[in-house]
């Protein structure tokens, strides 16, 4: 079987998740990317391709080897990959769903038109004045942003104008979205669809850092409340194939979607999810694109936590723990993946790019996991000077 994987920069999800999964499924892998030099050491064939252009992907595949699947886990090129898969008659996502989920303004319009929910929002094109008919407090964000970059809470028109000016200074050509602030607990729901039905894998309760920014600091395994509402939203968005990671708030008026990421959950929570499910998650995701049927999954019987270790200041890393994997027989299993190293300069940005490392832990109950994570942090500090 020939699997084409479209990619931008390397991620752990691809290099440590999907590539090993493809090999386990017996696939020959061809990576299509605009930065081939970054994939030379990952044991797969690599071809240079403008993966942001569906026509270039189609042309490259057509003049190479016959594909059995074309897949991407990148936020940025889902629509292009879906169009390429459709061109060759392969299983894949509806390209319209990829566009609607990536574009936060279109997500709002689609959900409102389908009668699923209405969240007041306004779209600000690059030349539009920084005003919006949206109640305060409100959230300003790039229409197609990622990693909490340039997402900020504003309380009045002056703060809105200042936020828009600041974001446009860094992103002059980008369209922004201003929407009413959704107050309440933040949750995720993780799903896997085969084109006929969507399976709910579970979800996490998300803890954010201090406002006005929206940096995710911790995710704890928790059965997703508001499940039926989220499934209606996914149906309205035509999301029903492959992995999807949906974020939503349980407001006093009920669940409200924050964003739909049409790919597997990131920041090492995909590895945490695989461990909790005790299932080859990455193989299951690729299996849908290869036309394989769904597998039965056992109920999750443990607690899991993913903790992002966030820099609290700018400076230079002078002390850092290394990679940690759990010892055999540990009642609570802890992994640590450093994202920075001693000597690295940190310029705090109030985004996910401030992460120093990721700790993930699984164990019989939350109390034990919490205690083990706290002990690990105390014994393995990150120090910035």
pLDDT in tens, 179-188: 999 999 999 9
- List of E strands, 280-354: 303-310, 315-319, 333-338, 345-346
Residues 149 and 76 sit within 8 Å (Cβ to Cβ) = no
Beta-bridge partners for 187: 205, 248
Residue 216 CB burial class (10 angstroms; 0-12, 13-18, ≥19):
buried
Cα–Cα distances (Å) from 182 to 77, 111, 137, 234, 251, in that order, read 28, 16, 9, 19, 6
Residues 357, 347: contact at Cβ < 8 Å?
A: no
Residue 330 pLDDT class (50, 70, 90 cuts): confident
Structure tokens at 110: 């689609």
pLDDT at 293 > cutoff 90: no
Would you say residue 294 has pLDDT above 90?
A: no
Stretch (H or E) spanning 288: helix 281-289
Report the DSSP pairing between strands 28-33 and 45-48.
parallel
pLDDT band, residue 377 (cuts 50/70/90): very high
**Is the bond preceding 275 in cis, omega lying within 30 degrees of 0?**
no
**pLDDT tens digits along 79-117:** 999 999 999 999 999 999 999 999 999 999 999 999 999
Contact (CB, 8 A) for 262 and 242: yes
Q: What is the mean pLDDT of residues 175-201?
A: 97
User: What are the start-end ranges of the E strands in 41-163?
Assistant: 45-48, 69-72, 121-124, 138-142, 152-154
Q: Look up residue 91 and give its DSSP letter.
A: S
Edge-to-edge strand ranges of the sheet holding 315-319: 345-346, 315-319, 383-384
Measured CA to CA in angstroms, residue 87 lies from 143, 160, 287, 362 at distances of: 28, 43, 19, 42
pLDDT surpasses 90 at 358: yes
CA 236/CA 254 separation, integer angstroms: 17
pLDDT at residue 345 is higher than 90: yes
Q: Is the dihedral of CA 168, 173, 179, 183 positive or negative?
A: negative
* pLDDT given at position 109: 98
- Token pair belonging to 38: 């970054």
The pLDDT, as a whole number, for residue 328 is 80
Residue 95 CA: distances (Å) to CA of 101, 238, 244, 258: 10, 9, 14, 21
Decide if pLDDT at 295 tops 90: no
Dihedral Cα 7, 9, 12, 18, nearest 10 deg: 10
């Amino acid at each position: 079987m020939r699997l084409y994987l479209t990619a931008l920069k390397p991620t752990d999800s691809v290099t440590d998740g999907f590539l090993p999964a493809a090999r386990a499924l017996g696939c020959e892998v061809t990576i299509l990317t605009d930065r081939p030099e970054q994939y030379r050491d990952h044991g797969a064939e690599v071809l240079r391709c403008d993966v942001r252009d569906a026509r270039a992907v189609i042309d490259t595949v057509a003049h190479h080897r016959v594909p059995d699947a074309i897949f991407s886990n990148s936020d940025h090129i889902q629509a292009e990959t879906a169009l390429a898969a459709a061109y060759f008659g392969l299983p894949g996502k509806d390209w319209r769903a990829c566009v609607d989920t990536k574009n936060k303004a279109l997500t709002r319009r689609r959900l409102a038109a389908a009668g699923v929910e209405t969240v007041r929002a306004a779209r600000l094109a690059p030349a539009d004045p920084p005003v919006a008919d949206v109640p305060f407090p409100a959230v300003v964000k790039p229409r197609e942003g990622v990693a909490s970059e340039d997402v900020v809470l504003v309380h009045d028109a002056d703060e809105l104008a200042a936020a828009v000016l600041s974001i446009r200074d860094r992103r002059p050509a980008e369209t922004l979205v201003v929407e009413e602030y959704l107050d309440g607990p933040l949750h995720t729901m993780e799903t896997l669809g085969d084109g006929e039905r969507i399976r709910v894998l579970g979800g996490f309760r998300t803890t954010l850092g201090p406002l006005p920014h929206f940096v995710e600091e911790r995710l704890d395994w928790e059965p997703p409340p508001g499940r039926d509402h989220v499934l209606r939203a996914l149906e309205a968005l035509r999301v029903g194939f492959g992995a999807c990671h949906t974020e939503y708030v349980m407001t006093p008026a009920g669940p409200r979607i924050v964003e739909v990421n049409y790919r597997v959950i990131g920041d090492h929570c995909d590895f945490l999810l695989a461990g909790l499910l005790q299932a080859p998650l990455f193989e299951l995701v690729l299996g849908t694109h290869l036309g394989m049927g769904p597998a039965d999954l056992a109920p999750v019987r443990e607690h899991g936590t993913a903790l992002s270790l966030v820099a609290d200041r700018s400076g230079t890393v002078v002390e850092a723990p290394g990679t940690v994997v759990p010892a055999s027989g540990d009642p609570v299993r802890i992994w640590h993946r450093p994202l920075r190293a001693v000597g690295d300069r940190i310029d705090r940005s109030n985004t996910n790019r401030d992460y120093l490392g990721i700790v993930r832990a699984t164990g019989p109950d939350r109390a034990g996991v919490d205690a083990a994570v706290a002990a690990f942090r105390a014994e393995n500090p990150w120090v910035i000077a």
